[in-house]
């Protein structure tokens, strides 16, 4: 049995983990696996066909506590980290006991560190999968109060037998052995006609998908977006706005990668998941900068060099001002500087 641990920080980790597990299970139906995560069950069920869903609820990291899908709360992040890593020895011991009790033969993580320590304690293999590690993310904050957690993360990552490192990667010195692997993403198919029927959206107008779980917009900003009558604007529940050109989509009814394949552009913050699905669907991104997140410059460079992307200042997003970005999109200015065959 493979125990696959997935951080609940962002859906990108879960999307690529599910794509990997689904491929393995379809190729090797005898494979037993359990997903260990705090990601929503509906998200996993939409991407994994195995039933009953092999899910165990647990969490071994924090990621970044966010005020909404763009803004980070560093003080709350540190408080959560200190609480979780204050129980590190207990959590590692308990997890090693669980791995032995269920007969697990290997552990994969994307990308909490403690399960790697538990795997080593249980005497089984431990592999990390990802494009960054949390020790690097926190170290880039240059905040001394994060140092004890950074050290604990590095000690955990050092127990990995190998890191399988995706593109868009950061430096990963905490891992003794690293293998670079290709991009993981599932191409979507256009469901524009079905979406139009389900929502009442006009398929003759250009469609924009807002890829945020939460976005703290004032009423005036939402009114400005509603005034973009030449566009149909889609969100995914739980994000929902009121207006004749707003359409909220049930994520259990439509695969996200199909949504990506059905719209003219996606308004988003850069993350591995959204970039990888933009690559395989050739979908332009209108993206905002991310503060206090070390991965952002690496992801922005990937967008500039090899994806179709237009930068939208975060202040303009929060004001509901998309005009300049949409003019650039219409003018075909979302072409990459260099085409990279991921």
How many whole angstroms separate alpha carbon 156 and alpha carbon 118? Answer: 9
How many whole angstroms separate alpha carbon 246 and alpha carbon 241? Answer: 6
Residue 306: the pLDDT is: 83
User: Does CATH number 1.20.1630 belong to domain 2-180?
Assistant: no
Radius of gyration of the chain (CA): 20
Write out the two tokens for 120.
């080593």
Same topology between domain 2-180 and domain 192-330: yes
Residue 68: the pLDDT is: 82
Sheet of 285-287: strands edge to edge?
Answer: 246-249, 232-236, 207-211, 265-268, 285-287, 309-311
Residue 72: the pLDDT is: 85
Residue 73: the pLDDT is: 92
Please list, in sequence order, all residues whose beta carbon lies within 8 angstroms of the beta carbon of residue 228, skipping any fewer than 6 positions away. 245, 322, 326
How many whole angstroms separate alpha carbon 280 and alpha carbon 186? Answer: 7
- In the predicted model, residues of the chain with pLDDT beneath 70 are 333-342
Is residue 215 within 8 A of residue 70, CB to CB? The reply is yes
CATH class of 192-330: alpha beta
Q: What is the domain partition of the chain in residue ranges? A: 2-180, 192-330
Read off the pTM.
Answer: 0.88
Torsion of CA 46, 49, 53, 58, to 10 degrees: -60
Write out the two tokens for 45.
């069920």
Residue 339: the pLDDT is: 46
Residue 341: the pLDDT is: 47
Quick one: CA dihedral 260, 265, 268, 270, positive or negative? positive
CB-hemisphere CA count at 13 Å for 99?
Answer: 29
């Amino acid at each position: 049995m493979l125990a696959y641990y997935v951080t609940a920080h962002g859906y990108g980790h879960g999307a690529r983990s599910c794509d990997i597990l689904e491929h393995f299970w379809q190729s090797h139906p005898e494979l037993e696996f359990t997903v260990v995560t705090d990601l929503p069950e509906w998200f996993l069920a939409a991407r994994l066909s195995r039933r009953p869903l092999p899910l165990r609820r647990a969490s071994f990291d924090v990621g970044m506590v966010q005020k909404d899908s763009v803004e980070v709360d560093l003080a709350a992040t540190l408080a959560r980290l200190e609480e979780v890593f204050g129980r590190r020895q207990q959590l590692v011991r308990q997890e090693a006991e669980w791995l032995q009790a269920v007969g697990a033969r290997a552990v994969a993580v994307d990308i909490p560190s403690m399960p790697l320590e538990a795997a080593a304690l249980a005497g089984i293999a431990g592999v990390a999968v990802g494009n960054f590690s949390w020790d690097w993310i926190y170290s880039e904050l240059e905040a001394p109060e994060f140092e004890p957690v950074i050290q604990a993360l590095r000690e955990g990552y050092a127990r990995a037998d190998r890191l399988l490192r995706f593109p868009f990667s950061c430096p990963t010195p905490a891992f003794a052995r690293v293998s670079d692997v290709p991009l993981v993403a599932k191409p979507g198919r256009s469901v524009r006609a079905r979406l139009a029927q389900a929502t009442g959206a006009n398929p003759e107008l250009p469609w924009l998908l807002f890829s945020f779980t939460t976005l703290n917009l004032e009423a005036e900003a939402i009114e400005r977006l509603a005034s973009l009558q030449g566009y149909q604007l889609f969100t995914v529940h739980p994000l929902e706005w009121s207006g004749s050109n707003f359409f909220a989509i049930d994520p259990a009814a439509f695969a996200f990668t199909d949504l990506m394949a059905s719209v003219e552009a996606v308004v988003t913050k850069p993350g591995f998941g959204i970039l990888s699905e933009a690559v395989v669907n050739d979908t332009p991104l209108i993206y905002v900068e991310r503060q206090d997140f070390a991965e952002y410059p690496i992801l922005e460079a990937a967008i500039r060099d090899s994806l179709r992307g237009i930068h939208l200042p975060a202040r303009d997003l929060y004001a509901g001002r998309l005009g300049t970005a949409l003019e650039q999109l219409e003018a075909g200015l979302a072409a990459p500087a260099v085409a990279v065959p991921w």
